[in-house]
Amino acid sequence: MLWLQSFVSLLFLQDAVCTLNTLQTNASSLEQVRRERSHPQLQLQAMRGFLERAGLTVEELDHLNIIHVTGTKGKGSTCAFTEQILRSYGFRTGFYSSPHLVQVRERIRINGQPIGKELFTKYFWQVYGHLDETKDAHGGTMPAYFRFLTILAFHVFLQEKVDLAVIEVGIGGAYDCTNIIRRPWVCGISSLGIDHTQILGDTIEKIAWQKGGIFKPGVPAFTVRQPEDALATLRGRAKEIKCPLQVCPELDDYQTDCGPLRLGLAGQHQHSNASLALQLSHTWLQKRCLPDKSFPSTSVENFALLKAASFKPSPIMVKGLADTEWPGRNQTLKHGAVTYFLDGAHTMRSMQACVQWFRETAAQHERNASGPVARVLLFNATGERDSAAMLKALVPCHFDFAVFCPNITEAIASCNADQQNFNVSVENMLTRCLDNERSWRLHNSLGDDKGTQLFIKGSLPLVPEKRPDTLVFPCILSALQWITQGRDSVLADPTKRVFPVKPSVMAKAAPLCEVAEIHVLVTGSLHLVGGVLKHLDPATSK
């Protein structure tokens, strides 16, 4: 009977996720989003209304002891470090992040683990039921996808009685739906850069203004080192809001008995995220343990931008930093002769950091290889992002092959509602991939001719026949199976079916069969990385 219970539970979960996906395309939701783009201050007003319709109040959120984090690059990693540190102290943690890699339940975590299937289903229908019952009295409106998940996260954390909640901002800060939080215990801003320009603005100052919108009067805030113009804007926002803002020290400034701090997340850029996490967790612990001394004075003279003091991290903090895991960010997976380097970099600054990490890490793996190695790039980018610039940054990695595919896990799909995106057509996805392939060719034809840059040509099903000399695979699985050439047993599962590949395309893969190892960098999109992880680590789908 256990199998029957499990099957029924899965059906209820899939029903919940499919219902959630309707909020991606709900006409009233989309119209509301379009209207609010012109009047962003309406977003928080609408969010409060949906929160109340779901049976919650902003006053209840005050009891979640929230750490609120925004930024362009590294905010998720900062949250992961912070959550791990405080969980290591024995606190029951909630963690809300986005996007998810494989399953939507990853966005809402209790004690570091995605919320269970049964709990997700139960709490989903509780919140959805309240909203659905009240929609007729509110013009038929339902919250859009991210807004609903934010409400659901708050509901889950309150019901599960967490000691604290680490909340990652979705986009921006000032008008992000997470910013209905009134009284966080501490706020953080990770590295800033240019992204989401249509929503946040096209200059670093405009983006910094939006990010600084999470500041609250008297609530301590920390930021990492920023470009000078961004820092000036953050300082102005902090003074305007009467929020004490401090800049984090370098990670090497923290005194330890065991030499340099070891981080569970790879990459030099993680050092600033770890320093920010130390300041956030330290400040939270001060308020928890010394409530009368936790917040700095809110007198006006204290709003000069100060450098936060370094301190000696406790052994628990040291262990927390070392134990932190954050899949899809500077992650390495070795499957026999195939090694995957996974990083969801999707801005220029994050791509530059990705390139530095990959070149160092891949070189180390190549030194230990038993023979020749082939380097393969698997890339996709979505939205308004400058994929041509990101691809140019990848050229110095000297890939032997470049492969492009949309964020579709399987062309012959088993239902995977968690990764469905109804806001972009398959045709648009494939067109974007063809554009990316064209950019890659252009960058390499203008660059160094040394080395063996092999470009994949031919055509595949689902790719318009009028572009016969480009290779864009129709899905992630077909791309992975072509790249690995049967050398990864996880991908050789006969139940994983893809469209047949033309013999001319298969012939191009001969070098991949001859080398000792294949090294694959997967980057450009967290959704692409998530689709790859779904195939490489089946446990992530359970």
CB atoms within 10 A of CB 66: 26
How does pLDDT run across 396-449, given as a tens digit for each residue? 999 999 999 999 988 655 556 655 665 667 888 888 899 999 899 888 874 444
- 168 is an annotated ligand-binding site residue: yes
Residue 238 domain-assigned? yes
Q: Which of 273-277, 306-310, 405-409, 422-426 ranks highest by mean pLDDT?
A: 273-277
Asked if the bond preceding 99 is cis, omega within 30° of 0, the reply is yes
192 shares its domain with 146: yes
Q: What percent of the chain has pLDDT over 90?
A: 64
Give me the CATH number covering residue 475: 3.90.190.20
218 shares its domain with 118: yes
481 shares its domain with 521: yes
What is the pTM for the complete model shown? 0.86
293 shares its domain with 391: no
Residue 1 domain-assigned? no
Structure confidence at residue 302 (pLDDT): 55
Q: What percent of the chain has pLDDT over 70?
A: 83
Enclosing domain of residue 132: 10-253+266-323
- 3-class DSSP assignment, residue 538: helix
Which of 333-337, 383-387, 465-469 has the weakest average pLDDT? 465-469
Give me the CATH number covering residue 274: 3.40.1190.10
Q: How many domains does the chain have?
A: 2
Residue 451 domain-assigned? no
310 shares its domain with 385: no
Q: List the one residue out of 538, 409, 419, 420 whose CA is nearest residue 102.
A: 419
391 shares its domain with 290: no
241 shares its domain with 378: no
Query: Is 60 exceeded by the pLDDT of residue 356?
Result: yes
Residue 499 domain-assigned? yes
- 62 is an annotated ligand-binding site residue: no
Residue 286 domain-assigned? yes
How does pLDDT run across 329-352, given as a tens digit for each residue? 999 999 999 999 999 998 888 899
312 shares its domain with 377: no
- Please provide the distance, in angstroms rounded to a whole number, between the alpha carbons at the two ends of the chain: 19
- 329 is an annotated ligand-binding site residue: yes
- 343 is an annotated ligand-binding site residue: yes
118 shares its domain with 71: yes
Q: What is the average per-residue pLDDT within 262-285?
A: 95
53 shares its domain with 93: yes
How does pLDDT run across 6-31, given as a tens digit for each residue? 544 555 678 888 888 888 766 555 56
- Going by pLDDT thresholds of 50, 70 and 90, the confidence category of residue 453 is very low
Q: What is the average per-residue pLDDT within 252-277?
A: 92
How far is residue 419 from each of residues 14, 24, 381, measured CA to CA in Å? 12, 12, 16
How does pLDDT run across 139-173, given as a tens digit for each residue? 999 999 999 999 999 999 999 999 999 999 998 89
Structure confidence at residue 258 (pLDDT): 81
Provide the token pair at 498: 């893809």
